[in-house]
Amino acid sequence: MQQSRILQKLCFFVTICILVPNVLGDCNECQTNGVKCINQTHFSFCSDYIDKSQVVGCPEGQVCTSMKAICLPEGAEASCAPTPAVECPACDGSSIFVCTSRTTFQMCNGDTLTSQVSKCKENTFCSIKSGTICADRCWIENNHNGFECDRESPA
Ligand SMILES: *[C@@H]1O[C@H](CO)[C@@H](O)[C@H](O)[C@H]1NC(C)=O
């Protein structure tokens, strides 16, 4: 009698453990579903037969997970935390130009951004505060701890 109760309890716990799905994927690590989520929406393959530099995006509105289906609708447990939104200055009527990426800037028309993208010269970075629109890395690092618009290319 006693033994069967213990057995019953044991069965109960084992069942619970099996039922709790392993939802915790790890960002940037190969998962059991054969892919590595590189951010919330993109993944690369872990197979030795597929070029690992290939990046695939989940369909619109889906996130990369550790589940067999890989991409699941937003709200599912994504393997990677969301990438924080990069804040870039907006045209507020007070400046003629704003930085729209680390190396580009655009003109403002009052408080609207015009569409033409201008580029800083090679090895220079956008900094309106520099007074020269673009400045060298040294200036960026020493004077303003970082970039005014820290992203690769204009949004
Ligand atoms: C995820 O990474 C891909 C490939 O590097 C990139 O194109 C995409 O913009 C990134 N998405 C986010 C939300 O950071």
pLDDT (tens place) for every residue of the chain, 155 residues total? 555 665 565 555 544 444 444 445 799 999 999 999 999 999 999 999 999 999 999 999 999 999 999 999 999 999 999 888 888 999 999 999 999 999 999 999 999 999 999 999 999 999 999 999 999 999 998 875 689 999 999 98
Name every residue whose Cβ is closer than 8 Å to that of residue 87 and which is 6 or more positions away in sequence. none
Name every residue whose Cβ is closer than 8 Å to that of residue 2 and which is 6 or more positions away in sequence. none
Beta strand residue intervals within the chain, DSSP E: 35-37, 42-45, 56-57, 62-64, 71-73, 97-99, 104-109, 112-119, 124-126, 134-136
Let me know if residue 58 belongs to a domain. yes
Atom 8 of ligand 1 has which residue's CA nearest to it? 42
Question: Same structural domain for residues 88 and 155?
Answer: yes
Taking phi over 0 as left and psi of -120 to 50 as alpha, with beta for the rest, 144 belongs to alpha
Give the ligand 1 atom nearest the CA of 55: 4
Last residue of a domain, which of 49, 73, 97?
73
Ligand 1 shell residues, CB under 6 Å: 38-42, 55, 83
Let me know if residue 136 belongs to a domain. yes
